[in-house]
Amino acid sequence: MAQPAFKVDFMRYAPVMLALSALLVVASVVSLAVRGLNFGIDFTGGTLVEVQYPAPVELPQVQAALAGHGLDKAVVQYFGTRSEVLVRIPVGEAGSGGELSTRVLQALDAGGTDGVTLQRVEFVGPQVGDELVTNAALALLYAVLAIGAYVAFRFEYRFAIGAIVSLAHDAIITVGFCSLIGLEFDLTVVAAVLTVIGYSINDTVVIYDRIRENFPRMRKASTREVINRSVNETM
C-alpha cells in the first residue's frame, strides 16, 4: 500500500479540538439564548423600496440622506449594480408602503442627487415574517435529517450519527457567530448556513468513504490509525 504524501497525526490533537468545539458550541448556545438573533425584515416584516440612481452612489451618502428625514432605522444595500439601491424600512415607521416610498424619494432628492427613480415597493407583514422564521428552521432541520438518512443508507448508522453531530456543530456555531456579532439574520444568511451544511457534508462523506475503504485493507491497524491514514490520504 502506497504511503500518503501527508503524515500528520491528526488524532493526536483530537482531545484539544473536541474541547475547543464544545466550547464554541456552548458559547453559541449561550449567545443565542441571551442575545438572540437580529432578524431582518424578511422575518420581522417591513417595507422594501428599490430605487435607481442615474450614476453609481456610495451607501453612506444614501444612509445619511435617509437619516436626515427621520428614516434613521432604514438599512441600505446595493441591489445589482452600484446605482441600484435597496432600502429596507423596518416595521414601526408610520405610513403605508406608498407613503414610505414617497418619503424615501424625497429624502434622496433632498440629499443632493436628482433623477432618483422608484423601481419597486414591497411590504412584508409580520405574519409572513413569522412564517418565514418557521420555514427557515424547518428547512435547516429537514436538510440535516435528509443528509443523515443519506449517510446511513450509503455507509452505516454509526456514520450517520457522526455526520448529524458534525452538521449540527457547524450550523450551531455559524448561527451563534451571527448572534454574537449582531449580524442581520435574513434569508440570505439562511442560504449561507445551508451552503455551510452542504460543504460540511461533502467533506464528511469524502473522509467517510476513505475510512470505509481502508478498514478492510488495514485489518490489523487500530481505528485511530485508520482514521489518521484516511485523512492524510484525502489531504
pLDDT confidence bin for 173, thresholds 50/70/90: very high
pTM of the model: 0.70
Each as own residue / partner, the long-range contacts of residues 127-133 (CB below 8 Å, 24 or more positions apart, any chain) are 127/45, 128/45, 129/39, 129/41, 129/42, 129/43, 129/44, 129/45, 130/43, 132/42, 132/43, 132/187, 133/39, 133/43
At 23-38, the pLDDT tens digits run 999 999 999 999 888 8
- Is the pLDDT reported for residue 3 higher than 70? no
Residue 19's pLDDT is 95
**CB count, 10 Å around CB of 230?**
23
> Cell 423600496 sits at which residue?
49
The full set of domains in the chain, from first to last, is 15-39+128-234 (no CATH), 46-124 (3.30.70.100)
| Among candidate residues 222, 207, 225, 224, the one with its CA nearest the CA of residue 166 | 207
Percent above pLDDT 90 for the chain = 11
**What mean pLDDT do residues 118-133 have?**
73
At 181-198, the pLDDT tens digits run 888 888 888 889 888 888
Fill in the DSSP letter of residue 2. Answer: P
